[in-house]
């Protein structure tokens, strides 16, 4: 079984354009075995990636955009 989570914040243009990347992954073999079919149940296997961009357009206006896969 393994699980990994991490994130990274990076200023692309100081105080104007900021980026954040986050990763989450989890994998585990199932712990229930069907002796008739040999199939495993309760497996966990997923990955998630999220990228966020913050654009500070002025002192009064900020835009936050998120891309998720």
pLDDT tens digits along 21-47: 999 999 988 888 888 988 888 888 999
Q: What predicted TM-score, i.e. pTM, was given to this entire model?
A: 0.72
Indicate the pLDDT class of residue 1, thresholds 50, 70 and 90.
confident
Triad 39, 30, 7: Cα angle to 5°: 135
Cα 9 from Cα 17, distance rounded (Å): 11
Q: How far apart are the first and last CA of the chain?
A: 22
| CA proximity to 66, closest of 25, 7, 26, 14 | 7
Q: Please, are residues 49 and 69 in contact by the beta-carbon 8 Å criterion?
A: yes
Summarize the confidence of residues 51-61 as an average pLDDT.
96
């Amino acid at each position: 079984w393994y699980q990994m989570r991490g994130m990274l914040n990076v200023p692309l243009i100081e105080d104007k354009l900021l980026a954040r990347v986050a990763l989450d992954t989890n994998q585990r073999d199932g712990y229930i075995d069907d002796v008739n079919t040999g199939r495993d149940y309760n497996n966990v296997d997923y990955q998630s990636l999220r990228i966020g961009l913050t654009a500070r357009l002025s002192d009064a206006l900020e835009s936050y955009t998120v891309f998720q896969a």
